Chains A and B, each alone.
Chain A
Amino acid sequence: SAVISQKPSRDICQRGTSLTIQCQVDSQVTMMFWYRQQPGQSLTLIATANQGSEATYESGFVIDKFPISRPNLTFSTLTVSNMSPEDSSIYLCSVETSGGITYNEQFFGPGTRLTVL
């Protein structure tokens, strides 16, 4: 398993500003993921963040809006840029721990609850 922390846990931001969310893992992991959970909805994958390479974005998400950094094997950041009220969501990071066999099991952080006014 993995213990994941996220900062901030919640924030209220003004339209047009940017927020950077941090994700810290207690062990080295290869793959980290960023998800968005809009109010009352399921999780949608934003991007996969691999150390030493550019993040891979899912359809509908672009780097200019959601830049991601992955400087090492235990840390990643997601920035929500030029925010609008539609960006109000919970943002979660997760990590995959293969345990030596690729089970694709993912462990999730507690999430960052973002409200944009």
Chain B
Amino acid sequence: AQSVTQLGSHVSVSEGALVLLRCNYSSSVPPYLFWYVQYPNQGLQLLLKYTTGATLVKGINGFEAEFKKSETSFHLTKPSAHMSDAAEYFCAVSSAGTASKLTFGTGTRLQVTL
């Protein structure tokens, strides 16, 4: 079984400040980890993913995340927030296999203020 916990349903940062969205996972097998973003009234867009290899992964729009096995974490960061980053962010986990399924966290709504 696998699960995802996102700490903080709402995060507010000032424009230009560091963005940190937390994600912890539970998986009995090596996980594949994903961050998705959902802008208002839109579907989900993949920001970045970790499968194997380098533990620091870079995604679109300046976001990156680091897979830390010892901490079972996959936190999302961006050095400098922009107003356009305001959206809902979902962390998700899956694992290798033909019957793959994504398990999503409950989401974190990011607010960016002036």
Contacts and interface: CB of A to CB of B under 8 A. Distances in A.
B37 to A, nearest CB: 11
A106 interface: yes
A32 interface: no
Given A109-B43, A111-B42, A102 B102 contact: no
Contact of B90 (A43, A103, A109): A43
Interface residues on B, range: 20 to 34
Interface residues on A, range: 20 to 34
Contacts of A105: 34, 46, 49
Q: Give the interface SS of chain A, mostly helix, strand, loop or mixed.
A: strand
Contacts of B36: 108
Query: Which of A41, A43, A102, A108 neighbours the largest number of chain B CB atoms within 10 Å of its CB?
Result: A43
Nearest to B50: A103
A57 interface: no
Interface of B: 32, 34, 36, 41-46, 49, 51, 90, 94-102, 104-107
